[in-house]
Amino acid sequence: MSLVNYIYLSAILFAIGSAVVLVRRNAIVVFMGVELMLNATNLAFVTFARMNGQLDGQAIALFVMVVAAAEVVVGLAIIMSIYRARRSASVDDANLLKL
């Protein structure tokens, strides 16, 4: 199978992730969309590393995983504190700030 197919797959996963961010209401699901986008990027990095005959892309993917883990810590803490204050993690309910 051609390596380019993996790039197509990663682009499709990235698009699904961004659609989830834009369409879904639950903050946790929105956040899962972001994670899907980051992991799609990892797949692209690893595939390109294979295409270019280097190891750099795989090392980059490790860095991205660490950063994504740090993001999860901060993100879930923020979503938790909102959920406990409002009993809801819906981004539509968070509407105090308006024009």
Partner 1 sequence: MIASMAGALPTEFVMTQISYAAVLPMLLVFGGAMIGVLIEAFAPRRFRHEAQVTLTLLTLVAALVAIATSARDHQGITAAGAVVIDGPALIFQGVIVALAAVGVLAMAERFTADEADAFTQSGAAVPGSPREAAAVRLGATSTEVFPLTLFAVAGMMLFPASADLLVMFVALEVLSLPLYILSGLARRRRLLSQEASLKYFLLGAFSSAFFLFGAALIYGYAGSLELSDIATAVQNQSGMDGLLIPGVLLVVVGLLFKVGAAPFHAWTPDVYQGAPSPVTGFMAAGTKVAAFGALLRVLYVAFEGVRWDWMPILWGVAILTMVVGAVLSVTQTDMKRLLAYSSIAHAGFILVGVLALNQKGVSSTLFYLVAYGFMTIAAFAIVALVRSSGNEATHLSQWAGLGKRSPIVAGVFAFLLLAFTGIPLTSGFTAKFAVFAAAVAGGGTWLVIVGIICSGITAFVYIRIIVLMYFSEPAGDTMVMTPTVMSTLCISLGTLVTLWLGIIPSPLLDLASQSTLFLR
Q: Give the footprint of partner 1 on this chain (CB under 8 A).
A: 7, 10, 14, 17-18, 21, 27, 30-31, 34, 37-38, 40-41, 44-45, 47-48, 50-57, 60, 63-64, 67, 70-71, 74-75, 77-79, 81-82, 84-86, 91, 94, 96-97, 99
**Least Cβ distance, residue 78 to partner 1 (angstroms):** 5
One-letter amino acid of 16: I
C-alpha triplet 95, 97, 99: angle, nearest 5°: 110
**Least Cβ distance, residue 5 to partner 1 (angstroms):** 14
Look at the alpha carbons of 32, 35, 41, 47 in this order and tell me if their dihedral is positive or negative. Answer: negative
**Least Cβ distance, residue 64 to partner 1 (angstroms):** 7
Distance CA 5, CA 61 (A): 19
